Amino acid sequence: MAALQSVRGTKDLLPNQIQDWYFIESVFRKCAEQFGYTELRTPIFEYTEVFLRGVGDTTDIVGKEMYTFDDKSGNSLTLRPEMTAALVRSVIQNSLIQQSSPTKLWYFGPFFRYERPQKGRYRQFHQFGAECLNTEFPESDLETILLANRIIKSLGIAESNLQINSLGNETVRATYKEELKNYLKQHFDKLSEDSQRRLEGNPLRVIDSKDPRDIEISANAPKLKNYFDNESADHFGFVIKSLDDLGIAYTLKDNLVRGLDYYSHTVFEFQSSYLGSQDSFGGGGRYNKLFEELGGKKAPSVGFAFGVERLLLILEQQNLLNSPAPRLDFYVMTSNSKDLPLAISYTDRLIKMGKSANYDLHRKSFKSQLKDANRLNARYVLILGEDEIQNNQIAFKNMETGEQITIAQTDFEDQISKII
């Protein structure tokens, strides 16, 4: 029978890669905690409605990329394509918002999008993200960028580019969208098919299209920043000035709008030249109306997400992924498999001492056990040979130095603690 394969666009996370994931996860957790964020875990699937209302049906995510299915009761469910809508659903349901104080949450886990797989783009991928909820002021936009920046630095990523833009407040954006639509309609025939389709529902997307036809038309499109009122200008001005004050480099990018419907004011993305065509490894922005869209009270918020596989691609290219191979403290050997119960009992005592320890699971020869100990990168080997057992002793071999001594079986724990 032919061996089965994993689903296209999904990857197994193999034992020799797991240390890298532990490393990256520990940096996420540490940095998020430094900024006072706590973790939220939500289910992998939600009622489809959460994403229809929370992400918006003019987006690619909802329009083309969701894994949606009916369960046996006929409920329409969707594997989460992103976290923000699901997180807001959970925060409303569990009443996690407190009046006049922020709720700061981070998450890490798998997400699912039916996209065309390529390097850096998968159908199951992982995101780390952080959301600062119930805060309307630009200080919180800044804080999320600072957290993202701290993570990038703590991971050791040498080169990354923060691109930033402001979509202004809702009033400004509504006026601008009309102006933009009028302009784009004049050039309708020259736009890409995607942009022609998006023009009515999501005209902002047209100006961040990568299609050369759209880029040409967008170059002369009206600029959103020329429509800013005082509130929009002040909000963004604060973020930019603070980044300058803190010496954090950024690029202002007029046509950065991000795919989702719900953003206002600050939006940002992180790019790296190590990544090729999928060069964005994270992004985020402010969303002020999502809570109401999902049936909650008003709670303006801001957040971002990193794609973990893309962070790993960057680290790999910088040669920063050199996790040491896993090591075993002790391998407990016997010269005769009838003595295995004794080996098991010593292994058990080592485990209780907090050490890592294995015994032979294949009833192998003495020589093969020694090979196994080497394969497992064991620091020490304990040998229970015929002679040792008869004399109530154990041989202790240091695999690094090759030195071997014999110890008495009595006071085993004390002796081991003294030697190692």
Residues that bind ligand AMP (CB under 6 A): 82, 113, 115, 120-122, 125, 127, 259, 280-283, 305, 307, 309-310
Min dist CB 117 to ligand AMP, Å, is 8
Min dist CB 344 to ligand AMP, Å, is 45
Min dist CB 37 to ligand AMP, Å, is 18
**DSSP 8-class letter at 191:** S
- Closer of 120 and 369 to ligand AMP (Cβ): 120
Query: What's the CA gap between 81 and 127, in Å, rounded?
Result: 10
- Closer of 2 and 14 to ligand AMP (Cβ): 14
Distance, C-alpha 297 to centroid of its chain:
28
Min dist CB 204 to ligand AMP, Å, is 15
Min dist CB 128 to ligand AMP, Å, is 9
- Closer of 54 and 120 to ligand AMP (Cβ): 120
Of 262, 35, 280, whose CA–CA distance to 144 is shortest?
35
Min dist CB 26 to ligand AMP, Å, is 19
Beta-carbon contacts of 78 under 8 Å, excluding residues fewer than 6 positions away, are 45, 46, 47, 48, 50, 51, 66, 67, 68, 69
Min dist CB 259 to ligand AMP, Å, is 6
DSSP strand pairing (301-307 vs 124-133): antiparallel
Per-residue CA distances from 72 to 42, 69, 75, 76, 83 (Å): 22, 10, 7, 10, 25
Min dist CB 355 to ligand AMP, Å, is 39
Q: Which two tokens stand for residue 124?
A: 């199951």
Min dist CB 120 to ligand AMP, Å, is 6
- Closer of 267 and 373 to ligand AMP (Cβ): 267
The tally of CA atoms less than 13 A away on the side-chain side of residue 248 is 23
Q: Which residues partner with 237 through β-bridges?
A: none
- Closer of 108 and 122 to ligand AMP (Cβ): 122
- Closer of 115 and 254 to ligand AMP (Cβ): 115
Query: What's the CA gap between 382 and 116, in Å, rounded?
Result: 53
User: φ and ψ at 211, to 5 degrees?
Assistant: -70, 130
- Closer of 261 and 309 to ligand AMP (Cβ): 309
- On whether the CB atoms of residues 330 and 310 are closer than 8 A, the answer is no
- Closer of 82 and 388 to ligand AMP (Cβ): 82
- For the beta sheet containing 38-39, the strands, ordered from the edge strand earlier in sequence to the opposite edge, are 38-39, 103-112, 124-133, 301-307, 280-287, 264-271, 161-166, 251-252
- End-to-end C-alpha distance for the chain, whole angstroms: 50
The H-assigned helical ranges of 221-358 are 230-245, 290-293, 308-317, 340-352
| Residue nearest ligand AMP, Cβ-based | 307
- Closer of 102 and 307 to ligand AMP (Cβ): 307
Helices (H) then strands (E): counts for the chain: 16, 16
Min dist CB 319 to ligand AMP, Å, is 21
Min dist CB 165 to ligand AMP, Å, is 14
**DSSP 8-class letter at 296:** S
- Closer of 280 and 415 to ligand AMP (Cβ): 280
- Closer of 112 and 228 to ligand AMP (Cβ): 112
DSSP string covering 98-137, please? BTTB-EEEEEEEEEE-----BTTB-SEEEEEEEEEES--S
Query: What's the CA gap between 110 and 185, in Å, rounded?
Result: 39
